[in-house]
């Protein structure tokens, strides 16, 4: 892109140390936004921020733990203090999911952590960002990274339930904040290697065969759509919706987890 689509904006991106979150943070920075990259992985998060600064971008890293009760609110306040204001919020953080965490095997602890990071943090960050954007009279934008499994079961109940809940949080935020000129949307990626998605070779081969475009996607491809949704140039009249970026994999009836 490199067209300055979000020049002048200040963005907070969670899960920015790897995968889709990293791709979105990089794309926003390269499109002119000042970016706070948030993650629990300080080593990788700092490395991403350092690399962006070497490109001449305005980026800084904030360590966070969204699994703790006050983690999301503390993160937003830290980002607001670091950036001065937050006009863009992207929530991409999610715990790594294991194929063994099925209906019969997932522990209470694993369930609680997944819902805390994905669902509770989505609401708390959205609430705090919404209050801030409203008070500062910002034309704010928010984007929640959900999943195809917000609607299709995957035999990972904690993951699917959290993503389904995030979809409704997005809609509630969009409805409440729309009158204040604040847009809230979601993006549902398909099979995108990196971050929380890791499949065995056989699983990758099967997923590729199920994808209409005949290949898996990249974080950069998801980031391109994300930036378009966050820009007023391309999406000024879009709110309360989920955009699917999946290469056509949802055209197939696939509900089994990858091998």
Distance CA 170, CA 165 (A): 9
Q: Is 237 a catalytic residue?
A: no
240 within 8 A of 173, measured Cβ to Cβ: no
User: What is the DSSP secondary structure assignment for residue 151, as one 8-state letter?
Assistant: T
> Which of the following is catalytic: 61, 76, 159, 254?
159
Mapping DSSP to helix (H, G, I), strand (E, B) and coil, where does residue 52 land? helix
**Largest Cα–Cα separation, the chain:** 51
- Which residues, including other chains, have CB under 8 Å from residue 220's CB and lie 6 or more apart? 23, 27
259 within 8 A of 203, measured Cβ to Cβ: yes
Distance CA 179, CA 115 (A): 29
Residues in the chain: 259
- CA of residue 118 relative to chain centroid, distance: 9
Catalytic residues: 159
């Amino acid at each position: 892109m490199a067209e300055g689509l979000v020049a002048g904006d200040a963005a907070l991106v969670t899960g920015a140390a790897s995968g889709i979150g990293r791709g979105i943070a990089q794309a926003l920075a390269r499109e002119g936004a000042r970016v706070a990259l948030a993650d629990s992985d300080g080593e990788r998060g700092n490395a991403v921020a350092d690399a962006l600064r070497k490109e001449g971008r305005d980026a800084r890293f904030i360590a966070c733990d969204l699994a703790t009760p006050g983690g999301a609110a503390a993160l937003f306040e830290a980002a607001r203090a670091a950036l001065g204001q937050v006009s863009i919020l992207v929530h991409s953080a999610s715990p790594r999911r294991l194929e063994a965490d099925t209906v019969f095997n997932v522990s209470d602890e694993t369930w609680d952590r997944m819902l805390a990071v994905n669902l509770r943090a989505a609401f708390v960050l959205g609430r705090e960002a919404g209050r801030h954007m409203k008070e500062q009279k910002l034309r704010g934008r928010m984007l929640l990274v959900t999943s195809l499994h917000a609607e299709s079961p995957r035999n990972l109940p904690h993951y699917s339930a959290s993503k389904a809940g995030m979809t409704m949080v997005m809609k509630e935020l969009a409805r409440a904040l729309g009158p204040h000129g604040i847009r809230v949307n979601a993006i549902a990626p398909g099979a995108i290697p990196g971050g929380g998605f890791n499949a065995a070779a056989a699983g990758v081969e099967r997923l590729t065969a199920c994808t209409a475009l005949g290949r898996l996607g990249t974080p950069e491809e998801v980031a391109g759509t994300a930036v378009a949704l966050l820009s007023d140039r391309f999406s000024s009249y879009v709110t309360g919706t989920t955009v699917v970026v999946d290469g056509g994999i949802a055209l197939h009836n696939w509900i089994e987890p990858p091998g």
